Structure 1
């Protein structure tokens, strides 16, 4: 089990036994939500804080003593913690597109991070004209139609062309950066349609704009998306108070004894990464404070989550789904997976730190271990806002509100994800887990399939496909493989057509 000072990433299935006796069915909870809990509550303001590359273990509430996040821990004590929330693709652009549309990245034509940087390496070509098509309905559009004043502050990365501008996807206001990357300080940002130079730390500047948005709209019903750029690499600089606790700390890595691990670099990465996370925490505290000062906290639906997870040292790698080896010597590569690359679907790449607070409706200091994919945010936010999805729209996710209203409602322990890497490597990874076992298929590269027993090997360190499987394990592999195929077929995955032919 992945541990850093006693933090554990716990498979969702382990919660099932403890909750089974007292669980309410999703149908019961849906009825309760509609008939009692919310019927007399006005749709709340919405503040959706979305970080970039934040691991599920980069949160004090997870049990990680190295993650110094007092404001996020306070937020968790005031709301509900969701330890099994996850991204359907462990990289930014497709995950962000899925968040907005409740469809998988491959349905939207966005498989990997949109590479619009002519200086960035790519194995399949740059994507200067790619973006999220306006034919796909987004939840900010529906909230606009429901009377919300909407704003996006921060990272977009769903197409830098004007055709894909955030204002064409349901945001009244946009301040931030449309392209792939931004530095941690002194950013160039679009303000009122004009690229404007700023001085200071990027997350501080973005939070300044967020606070200004809240103040200007405090008398209205608003939905603010604050998409922070941190803790994306490059991690530094941060404020001196964010970095100070880590300067002399002996940083712990999950697998320090992994053969050939560059331990010195790994500790440096961990120190800088958690310093950046601490800066996020400080700015979340600023948002919480302004909501309190304006007496908006009780009826504001405040979400904290990330676009996907991250690794530093787990099984010898660092980064996210398009991971890199953190080794002194790069392993030999192949034509599709060059040396130094480790594309993966590890849980810490997929899972995201997630907290929801809504004092008027959600019980404080609770936890729900249901798996929640990012595609669930669309129907959940539309439900909370009492909006209406277009009749011809495809919504893959489910309304997660029943689980938010009752910690004992276990909606699912399964999770499915897809990632076709295009730039650092070329893969077609598809993954399905029942919470107890996980199967990963790479339909583009033979020999890269993986099968893990998450109960006995939650770190995913022992690929059982490299051993002699028992008859029971073979049956489980078949069941999970069929689940992958069924999901690919039902969602019109282009890779399904390739493997079918």
Structure 2
């Protein structure tokens, strides 16, 4: 209890006047937050983003009722660091989680108890808070979600599980639970909502789907794709039938999430909570099934025939671009489209502003609130920089040290590991990132300009790679 008391005291001290004002106002009129977080879901795997082959009617109606972000990204293309960035609004080198956490080889690694997470701030405002699903930010007791701002946890601490009959922590005890994992998580989420319907609540559901293994899923979800001949990337050397099989199974896993999102939305409506509940849907990073000849995300492996199934560290848009939908009744107009570039670090300041407070003055974060974009998406006077920065220090399976700067027109990926060329893409002409222009003399000045911006950003966040800056070009 001493650890929990000190954590609560620290959050109260951090909030200071903000917390006192919130308590004075009372929490009764604050909106509920439902945060839906999928694992490995690409932006292209959603009907609302133009995919006519996938069955996602509930997520599509969520988008129709709220805002669809056209250019949402993550700062890191793999699980654990991306999740930590979303919760803390800080970059991987700032919290010491560079790659996905392997509980077997890294049992002592986790998100530091001293970190301030936005669920902690909501809890300090009087919210009931719960996390259902995947944590993947440390398995030791001091890293547990209930010591990081969540009153209730129903899920699993590591990164892996199985889609049917998973092992879950239930009331503090790990046991095997019968059923489909998305069904189980949403069922518990609905029970939490019903028990807390008379007070403001934060319900976070961190799905494991559509992470591999995709199957099995309930027949009602896989049935949509039994006869589908899916469209796959046009990449030479892809094993086409294998990629199509993987795509069908991936789509079915996404549909298992979608069906359960529908269950939850319907229950919120039946309880009369829709009008006072903000629903946010996003994913931890992007995904590829044959895109660029790869499978998975930033630590993807080659999928083309004739190549060894070795890893190809990357920060392609397919690995960092994510879906992002926000339904905020009474504030966000149905059918809103937001085309500005936002990052997963922006979730933190946005949620705390949505709930009627703000980021404490004495807490430094890397994100910015996108609430102004939601309120008035067509207002060109809103000051907003569409430059994106990112990091990925890979050590599981292969070593890579990548830093990213992305503008709407250009993208530079610096490789600080020895012997690997940088990558420069002209997104305006080559949105598929198929032509690396890093050695093209015609773009030398552009690359140098981007590298200088990237270097300044790295210095600003204390990135250790800033000390090992390599020259952009000879001479």
Alignment partners' CA distance in 2, 1:344 and 1:47: 31
Partner of 1:121: none
Partner of 2:229: 250
Partner of 2:166: 187
Partner of 1:14: none
The question of 1:66 aligning with 2:53 is answered yes
Partner of 1:438: 411
Alignment partners' CA distance in 1, 2:49 and 2:72: 13
2:38 to 51, 57, 64: 51
Cα deviation code 1:39-97 (max 9, x no counterpart): xx942100000000000101101111122211111111100000211111011100110
SS at 1:304's partner residue? Answer: strand
SS at 2:345's partner residue? Answer: helix
Alignment partners' CA distance in 1, 2:328 and 2:77: 27
The question of 1:424 aligning with 2:397 is answered yes
1:274 to 226, 236, 251: 251
> Does the CA contact (< 8 Å) of 1:56 and 1:83 recur in 2?
no
Deviation of the 1:413 alpha carbon = 2.2
SS at 2:110's partner residue? Answer: coil
Partner of 2:95: 108
How many pairs are equivalent? 441
Partner of 1:479: 449
Cα deviation code 1:267-292 (max 9, x no counterpart): 11111101111111111111110111
Deviation of the 1:357 alpha carbon = 0.2
User: TM-score, length-normalised on structure 2?
Assistant: 0.90
Deviation of the 1:390 alpha carbon = 4.4
Partner of 1:79: 66
Name the CA shift for 1:499/1:455 in 2 (closer, same or farther; >3 Å): closer
The question of 1:215 aligning with 2:194 is answered yes
Deviation of the 1:500 alpha carbon = 7.8
Alignment partners' CA distance in 2, 1:391 and 1:164: 26
Alignment partners' CA distance in 2, 1:217 and 1:469: 62
Alignment partners' CA distance in 1, 2:231 and 2:467: 44
Partner of 2:466: 496
SS at 2:84's partner residue? Answer: helix
> Does the CA contact (< 8 Å) of 2:416 and 2:470 recur in 1?
no
> Does the CA contact (< 8 Å) of 2:349 and 2:358 recur in 1?
no
SS at 2:90's partner residue? Answer: coil
- Return structure 1 stretches of 4+ with deviation > 3 angstroms: 387-392, 498-501
Deviation of the 1:246 alpha carbon = 1.2
Alignment partners' CA distance in 1, 2:172 and 2:57: 36
Alignment partners' CA distance in 2, 1:261 and 1:114: 30
SS at 1:465's partner residue? Answer: coil
- Per mean C-alpha deviation after superposition, the further-off stretch among 126-135 and 489-498 is 489-498
1:322 to 296, 299, 304: 299
Cα deviation code 1:419-469 (max 9, x no counterpart): 111112100011111111111111113333111111211111111125x33
SS at 1:176's partner residue? Answer: strand
The question of 1:401 aligning with 2:371 is answered yes
Structure 2: state its 5+ residue gaps: 1-27
> Does the CA contact (< 8 Å) of 1:302 and 1:358 recur in 2?
yes
- Per mean C-alpha deviation after superposition, the further-off stretch among 441-450 and 286-295 is 441-450
Partner of 1:93: 80
Partner of 1:138: 117
Q: CA RMSD in A?
A: 1.6
> Does the CA contact (< 8 Å) of 1:146 and 1:386 recur in 2?
no
1:453 to 395, 413, 426: 426
Alignment partners' CA distance in 2, 1:500 and 1:167: 43
Deviation of the 1:360 alpha carbon = 2.0
Deviation of the 1:388 alpha carbon = 5.0
> Does the CA contact (< 8 Å) of 1:380 and 1:398 recur in 2?
yes
Matches for 1:193-232 after TM superposition, within 5 Å: 193-232=172-211
Deviation of the 1:382 alpha carbon = 1.1
Partner of 1:12: none
Matches for 1:277-288 after TM superposition, within 5 Å: 277-288=254-265
User: TM-score, length-normalised on structure 1?
Assistant: 0.86
Partner of 2:11: none
The question of 1:292 aligning with 2:264 is answered no
Alignment partners' CA distance in 2, 1:417 and 1:345: 9
Alignment partners' CA distance in 2, 1:399 and 1:196: 39
The question of 1:345 aligning with 2:332 is answered no
Higher relative contact order (CA 8 A, sep 6+): 1
Partner of 1:161: 140
Alignment partners' CA distance in 1, 2:374 and 2:451: 31
Alignment partners' CA distance in 2, 1:329 and 1:42: 60
Deviation of the 1:153 alpha carbon = 0.6
